[in-house]
A and B are shown apart, each in its own frame.
Chain A
Amino acid sequence: MNHKKGIKQFWLLFTLVGLLMLLAACSGDDTTEDVATTDESTKTDSPTTEPATEDGLSGKLEIQYFVGGYGDEWWKQVIGDFKKENPNLEIVEHAGPNINTEMNTRWISNDPPDVVYIDGAGANETQMIAEGQLMDISSFVKDLKMEDDTPLLDSFISPAEEIDGGKIYSLPLVFDTWGIWYDAKWFKDNNWAPPTDFDTWLSSMEKIKEETNISPFITTGQHPQYFERGVLNPAFAAAGGEEFLNDLRNGVVEAWQRPEALEVMTKVQKMADAKVVDPGFAAYNHTQSQMNFLLHKNAYIPVGFWLPNEMKNDTPSDLEFGFTPTPMNNPGEPLALVPDIRTIAVAEKAKNPEAAKAFLAFIFTEKYAQDFAASTGAIMNLKNVDLSANTNVPEFLTGINDMINNPSAVKLYKHHTPNAEEQKIAVEITNEIKLQLIEVLLGKKTAEQFIDIMTKKSQELRK
């Protein structure tokens, strides 16, 4: 009898232990947590927040950064260098392609990391500002200077955004932007000139179609935001300016009724009518559309700066990336760029704000801008960084960098961070654009129908 009782107790205990193990396993965290180390041993028992000492900062600094098309080489380098300067500081990196989702519970439970690089799916700066998750660092950044004593705030290509009467919640770190990619070598071999405006672009696509029998333009139909951000936004900016672009996004009815909105959509319809858009585009996700571009099944694709880095393992050796700001402008007008700036910020509830701010101050230097360009093939958001002498920087990037620093060739337009109310409208407007856009590109809706739907949607949202 006692023996049987013992067996039962054993099974009960076994089941309970099993359950606990299962629960523990479920609460596990996939986050890549690297503790940056130097030659000195990491002090794990250091207090969370401590003032700077002779040996630099101390305590623990948690940095969250998304790893996407640009990789993490640059982050590892700057964090390593920052650690060398502050040997008493324990730096914990939370990084990965899904890091925003993985760290979500930390943000929800008001236990965020100290520094956050806002990029990738699951990160939304507007939302974070509206919900008080980011620290107002305006007084701190106003005193920051570059190596040549230029104020940091005057050194950005796309300026830091001041909202609510001069509050700065983040610093613009990566100058991400959308544009049109082509194979420069292929173009050169076939005497195809890169376009400079919509007319030359359309005629170039018609010529390519005639000569090669391919559909020259591809975009991903599964992610219509690629066309929206890569083609429509620069087109709207070129046609009506920055305020017009922002008004359209925020569902201002009058903006959708302006002739410039119809003018832009008529250009899109012209592309569909000329049958220069790949007929299969609606079926493709971004990787498939990019693969087709690399395989010369198409000649033009709207993607962000990350394309060469993201596709480097699949890029044929003889392909030479060429980039142009989206040529939706009218002849004689400058090309338009609407940067998608990726920012870095300090959490409002950072446990080591001093170290977090010091890290922000540390990374904005010309050296790191050069390193960023070399390791990611993209541009850090700092003006007057001469990439021409840097042999590690891809050729297409030096050209883009020159273009960006030349206002007569390219004009920059900025997306403004909407307030919380406008943000709700902006989400609905973006969703509607994405829905209707596909049908225009498929030739199932006209430009007029698109504008009509968007106007009605704006009226409905602004009621």
Chain B
Amino acid sequence: MAQTAKQRYLFLAFCLLPTFLLFLVFTIYPMLGGLYYSFFEWSGTSSVKTFIGLDNYIKLWNDSIIKQAIFNDFFFVFVKVIGIMILSLFFAVALTQLRIKEAPFYRIVFFFPNIMSVVVIGILWQFIYDPSIGLVNSLLTKVGLSEWARPWLGDMTWVLPSIAIPAIWAGIGLFMLLLMGGISNVPKSLYEAADIDGASEWQQFWRITVPLIWPQIKTSILYIIITSLNGSFVLVQVMTGGGPGSASEVMGSYLYQRAFEDFQFGYGAAIGVLILVVSLITVLISQLILKKEKVEY
């Protein structure tokens, strides 16, 4: 029995409307609200608000911490994209192509950090890095490299890489599964044909695997970029609070400090708008860079 147009629209509305309403309430409304409040001087604790036009944005432009926070954010983006993509691709290929018997076990092990709360991960790694009882310094001392031991999260040079490592560790599992899905869909016959033609495994990887799972790689990179720009805040806030000094400050942690600790909610909202703009621009540029014709053999 053919569906009438009305029935079709009703069905579409039934599928889309709830999500759309939630999207309006929890995404669009706060986004517009943030933009609106960024034009005010507002403590965020009373009904008193003063319209100040673009003053918050002018202050943002002249704020040296913001420049450092943007740099730190992009450090995380860069390191996470490289680190997560190399490791997750390596593990995905290993677990699908090398016919390892324990593959299901490793799949679970690698995915495990993804089901842990980021706060728990932050606290866990805080202990690992602890200057006196931490695993890292203890290991270094055990292997005779005690001069390398340092307060990793309290060292202005090493704090960013030290936070990036758990961020990469926690991110591998999800993208590994995504890439494994892609690799599993590559027809085996292509590899067999390549074998007959004398292609090495390395050549097969670059000429067959990578082009055919490019959509998954691209999605992964974009997802890492977005989650890094929006989500580095949690790990930073838990592990260092943006310190020492402002050495690990990211835009999110600075927003939190300004809006909720310094009672400058309007300025915090302006930082929120900046995060949105920076994320959008970064994703657009990344999409252009990663644009590639779809490959089919």
Contacts of A144 in B (CB 8 A): none
Q: Are A283 and B14 in contact (CB-based, < 8 A)?
A: no
Contacts of B25 in A (CB 8 A): 23
Contacts of A427 in B (CB 8 A): 262-264
> Which residues of chain A from 396 to 442 have any CB-CB distance to chain B below 8 Å in the complex?
427, 431, 435-436, 438-439, 442
Give CA–CA (A101, B260) in the complex, Å.
9
Contacts of A282 in B (CB 8 A): 151, 153-156, 243-244
Q: Does A19 contact B (CB under 8 A)?
A: yes
CB distance from A254 to the nearest CB of B (A): 24
Q: Does A15 contact B (CB under 8 A)?
A: yes
Q: Is the interface of B mostly helix, strand, loop or mixed?
A: loop
Q: Are B151 and A127 in contact (CB-based, < 8 A)?
A: no
Report the nearest B residue to A23, measured CB to CB.
Answer: B25
Contacts of A107 in B (CB 8 A): 45-46
Q: Does B27 contact A (CB under 8 A)?
A: no
Contacts of B263 in A (CB 8 A): 124, 127, 427
Contacts of A133 in B (CB 8 A): 45-46
> Which residues of chain B from 108 to 159 have any CB-CB distance to chain A below 8 Å in the complex?
126, 129-132, 151-156
**A110-B47, A427-B262, A427-B264 given; A292·B156 CB < 8 A:** no
Q: Are A280 and B131 in contact (CB-based, < 8 A)?
A: yes
Contacts of B198 in A (CB 8 A): none
Report the nearest B residue to A122, measured CB to CB.
Answer: B260
Contacts of B104 in A (CB 8 A): none
Contacts of A223 in B (CB 8 A): 241
Q: Are A11 and B45 in contact (CB-based, < 8 A)?
A: no
> Which residues of chain B from 242 to 280 have any CB-CB distance to chain A below 8 Å in the complex?
243-246, 260-264
**A110-B47, A280-B151, A283-B151 given; A11·B14 CB < 8 A:** yes
CB distance from B178 to the nearest CB of A (A): 29
CB distance from A431 to the nearest CB of B (A): 7
Report the nearest A residue to B152, measured CB to CB.
Answer: A283
Q: Does A163 contact B (CB under 8 A)?
A: no
CB distance from B150 to the nearest CB of A (A): 8
Interchain CB contact (< 8 A) of A297 among B46, B132, B261? B132
Give CA–CA (A279, B44) in the complex, Å.
38
**1/0 per position for A11-34, CB-CB distance to B under 8 A?**
110010011001100000000000
Give CA–CA (A132, B240) in the complex, Å.
36
Q: Are B260 and A283 in contact (CB-based, < 8 A)?
A: no
Q: Does A8 contact B (CB under 8 A)?
A: yes
Give CA–CA (A436, B151) in the complex, Å.
19
Q: Does A146 contact B (CB under 8 A)?
A: no
Give CA–CA (A132, B43) in the complex, Å.
13
> Which residues of chain A from 251 to 293 have any CB-CB distance to chain B below 8 Å in the complex?
278-285, 288, 292
Give CA–CA (A8, B156) in the complex, Å.
60
Q: Are B48 and A222 in contact (CB-based, < 8 A)?
A: no
Interchain CB contact (< 8 A) of B154 among A18, A104, A221, A431? A221
Which of A279, A282, A288, A435 has most chain B Cβ within 10 Å?
A: A282
Q: Does A41 contact B (CB under 8 A)?
A: no
Contacts of B241 in A (CB 8 A): 222-223, 285
Q: Does B199 contact A (CB under 8 A)?
A: no
CB distance from B271 to the nearest CB of A (A): 14
**A279-B151, A281-B154 given; A131·B48 CB < 8 A:** yes
Interchain CB contact (< 8 A) of A104 among B45, B130, B151, B245? B45
Contacts of B48 in A (CB 8 A): 131-132
Interchain CB contact (< 8 A) of A438 among B132, B152, B153, B245? B245
Q: Does A184 contact B (CB under 8 A)?
A: no
Report the nearest A residue to B127, measured CB to CB.
Answer: A288
Q: Does A128 contact B (CB under 8 A)?
A: yes
> Which residues of chain B from 152 to 180 have any CB-CB distance to chain A below 8 Å in the complex?
152-156
Give CA–CA (A444, B247) in the complex, Å.
13
Contacts of A436 in B (CB 8 A): 245
Q: Are A19 and B44 in contact (CB-based, < 8 A)?
A: no
Q: Are B154 and A280 in contact (CB-based, < 8 A)?
A: yes
**1/0 per position for B2-30, CB-CB distance to A under 8 A?**
00000000100010001001100100000
Q: Does A121 contact B (CB under 8 A)?
A: yes
CB distance from B76 to the nearest CB of A (A): 19
Q: Are A121 and B43 in contact (CB-based, < 8 A)?
A: no
Please, could you name 10 A-B residue pairs with CB atoms under 8 Å apart, sorted by A? A121-B260, A122-B260, A124-B43, A128-B45, A280-B130, A281-B154, A283-B151, A283-B240, A439-B244, A442-B244
The 10 closest A-B pairs by CB, nearest first: A280-B131, A282-B154, A283-B154, A280-B151, A282-B244, A283-B153, A131-B46, A222-B241, A283-B151, A131-B48
Given contacts A127-B45, A282-B155, A288-B126, 17 further A-B contacts (CB under 8 A): A22-B22, A23-B25, A104-B44, A104-B45, A107-B46, A109-B47, A131-B45, A278-B131, A279-B131, A280-B131, A282-B151, A282-B154, A282-B243, A283-B152, A283-B155, A442-B244, A444-B156
B residues bordering A, Cβ < 8 Å? 10, 14, 18, 21-22, 25, 43-48, 126, 129-132, 151-156, 240-241, 243-246, 260-264
